[in-house]
Amino acid sequence: MKAAVLKVCLLLACCVSQFANTLQAADLKTKNVIFITLDGLRWQEVFTGAEELLLSKENGGVKDVDGVKKSFWRDTPEARREALMPFLWSVVAKQGQLLGNTNRGSVVRVTNGMNFSYPGYNELLCGFPDRRINSNAKRPNPNVTILEWLNGKPAFKGKVAAFTCWDVFPYIINVERSGLPVFADIETFQKLPEIGGNRLLRELATDSVQVFKGVMPDAMVYQAAIEHLRTLKPRLLYLSFGETDDWAHDGRYDLVLQSAHKADAMIRKLWETVQSLPEYKDKTTIVISTDHGRGSGKSDWRNHGAAIQGADDIWIAALGPDTPALGERANISNCGQNQVAATLAAFLGLDYVAEVPQAGKPIVELIVK
């Protein structure tokens, strides 16, 4: 008798849970998610704009100091950040949310302890750190990413794609196992589908000089992704921009600023495209973040890693129909990079943690009204 009662109770609990999840999904307006990362872009630039210490040839490798100051230097942090990333601060900050300004007690942290790219992207896309991933070597990820997990759901099958900047991404997303379309380098760009302007993009990928080995220019990543969005209508689209990290390692602060500014403009065009398409308008959430932070001072801004102080501080932004328009948040100190995957799923009304219990829970501040 006790066993039968227990079985009934468990069945009822399961039904209640399923009902709650269905209700949550029904209450949400988001049907599509676009996830964007700007590799290694510091929270300092996002929230305070150009840093005066680095606007020099000596500290920032700046070629045209007067020109860069004219473009990006302003008297206040608020004016500087809007000059640098006008879409983020004129649209996202008014219609969505931004977390990660440590000056205001808003802290988002990397939890893998390594503070460089492959471990960071694994944590972002899988929801948990993995000590086995301790280098940027091209090794297939043993973990299932949120992209692969969603593609396994009937409603998302064939509706997931990634357009990325780095030839390690096919390993991070494990294309051999996942079967997902991941475009990341010259070789994979030759496999772009025959749609729109992709023939020209394939030619440009082949004919262009590679400034950084194994890295695609952000503009090509964007153009391929927007063509895919317009034509094939994915429900989860991932874009990774990389020039903010590459130019920082190269010691060119002027080009870091220009890359962040250009990325912001591309995100604006992406959002405007979303709002022009009936399949996406008022049904799409954009989430923006980064894989790691960087150091500070005259030289450490170029670097990141376990030994670099501050490289575990990151940021996250969200804009969409289910994100309360609270702008820049303060005094939120318990957010981690490991929560991003579950947050992406939660926007779509899905409980990622129920199936991947080691993952961080969704960042409820970005979703709950």
**What's the CATH number where 149 sits?**
3.40.720.10
Question: What is the side-by-side order of every strand in the sheet holding 327-328?
Answer: 182-183, 160-163, 236-241, 32-38, 284-289, 316-319, 97-99, 327-328
33-59 per-position pLDDT tens digit: 999 999 999 999 999 999 999 999 999
What average pLDDT does range 286-294 have in this prediction? 98
Q: pLDDT digit string (tens) for 88-97?
A: 999 999 999 9
Between residues 11 and 180, the one the model is more confident about: 180
Query: What is the rounded distance in angstroms from the CA atom of residue 34 to the CA atom of residue 27?
Result: 20
- What residue numbers bound the domain in which 26 lies? 1-30
How many domains would you assign to the chain? 2
Whether pLDDT at 345 is above 50: yes
Instruction: Find residue 108's DSSP bridge partners.
Output: 314, 335
Segment 338-353 shows an average pLDDT of 98
Q: Are 145 and 227 within one domain?
A: yes
What's the mean pLDDT when you consider all of the chain? 93
Instruction: Give the residue among 226, 215, 218, 217 at the shortest CA–CA distance from 192.
Output: 226
Reported as a single tens digit per residue, the pLDDT across 247-263 is: 999 999 999 999 999 99
Question: What was the pLDDT predicted at 24?
Answer: 53
Quick one: 14 and 83 in the same domain? Answer: no
122 with 194, same domain: the answer is yes
Where are the extended beta strands (E) located within the chain?
32-38, 97-99, 106-109, 160-163, 182-183, 236-241, 284-289, 313-314, 316-319, 327-328, 332-336
Q: What is the pLDDT of residue 369?
A: 62
- Asked if 270 and 306 touch (Cβ cutoff 8 Å), the reply is no
Q: Which two tokens stand for residue 139?
A: 């090794």
pLDDT at 42: 98
Q: What is the DSSP letter of 279?
A: T
Q: What angle do CA 62, 65, 69 make, to 5 degrees?
A: 115
Residue 334 DSSP class: E
Residue 19 has pLDDT above 80, yes or no: no
Q: In sequence order, what DSSP letters do the residues of 239-280 get, joined into one string?
A: EEE-HHHHHHHTT-HHHHHHHHHHHHHHHHHHHHHHHHSTTT
Is 71 a residue whose pLDDT tops 90? yes
Note whether 335 and 98 are within 8 A (CB). no
Better-predicted residue by pLDDT, 228 or 7: 228
Q: Based on the domain organization, do 7 and 128 belong to the same domain?
A: no
Position 209 pLDDT exceeds 90: no
Averaged over 217-232, what is the pLDDT? 97
Q: Are residues 14 and 119 in the same domain?
A: no
Please tell me the chain's helix, strand, coil percentages from 3-state DSSP, rounded to the nearest 5: 45, 15, 40
Range with the poorest average pLDDT among 1-5, 83-87, 159-163: 1-5
* Closest alpha carbon to 109 in 118, 100, 117: 100
Are 102 and 12 within one domain?
A: no
- Roughly how many angstroms between the first and final C-alpha of the chain, as a whole number? 43
pLDDT > 50? residue 108: yes
Are both 339 and 236 inside the same structural domain?
yes
Query: Which of 4-8, 68-72, 83-87, 323-327 has the lowest average pLDDT?
Result: 4-8
Residue 24 CB-density burial (10 A; 0-12 exposed, 13-18 middle, 19+ buried):
middle
In tens, the pLDDT along 294-341 reads 999 999 999 999 999 999 999 999 999 999 999 999 999 889 999 999
Question: Is 362 in the same domain as 285?
Answer: yes
Whether the predicted pLDDT of 4 surpasses 60:
no
Instruction: Say yes or no: 6 and 149 in one domain.
Output: no
- The fraction of the chain above a pLDDT of 70, given in percent, is 93
Q: Is the pLDDT of residue 12 over 60?
A: no
Residue 269 tokens read as: 């065009």
Instruction: Tell whether 149 and 160 lie within a shared domain.
Output: yes
pLDDT for 282 beyond 60: yes
Residue 25: the pLDDT is 55
Look at residue 26 in the predicted model and tell me its pLDDT: 54
Residue 1: per-residue pLDDT = 41
Note whether 26 and 46 are same-domain residues: no
Tell me: pLDDT of 166 over 90.
Answer: yes
Q: Do 317 and 325 form a contact (C-beta atoms < 8 A)?
A: no
Tell me the residue ranges of DSSP E strands in 43-189. 97-99, 106-109, 160-163, 182-183
Answer whether residue 8 shows pLDDT above 90: no
pLDDT digits 0-9 by tens, 262-272? 999 999 999 99
Return the higher-pLDDT residue of 233 and 17: 233
**pLDDT value of position 15:** 38
Contact assessment for residue 190 and residue 178, using Cβ atoms and an 8 Å cutoff:
no
Q: How far apart are CA 254 and CA 271, in angstroms?
A: 26
Residue 368: predicted pLDDT? 74
Distance CA 154, CA 142 (A): 23
Residues 6 or more apart whose Cβ sits within 8 Å of residue 194: none
Six token digits for residue 62: 């700046």
- Distance separating alpha carbons of residues 79 and 73, to the nearest angstrom: 8
Distance CA 296, CA 253 (A): 12
Is the same domain home to 171 and 226? Answer: yes
Specify the pLDDT at position 256.
Answer: 98
DSSP state of 361: P
CA angle 321, 127, 144 (to 5 degrees): 105
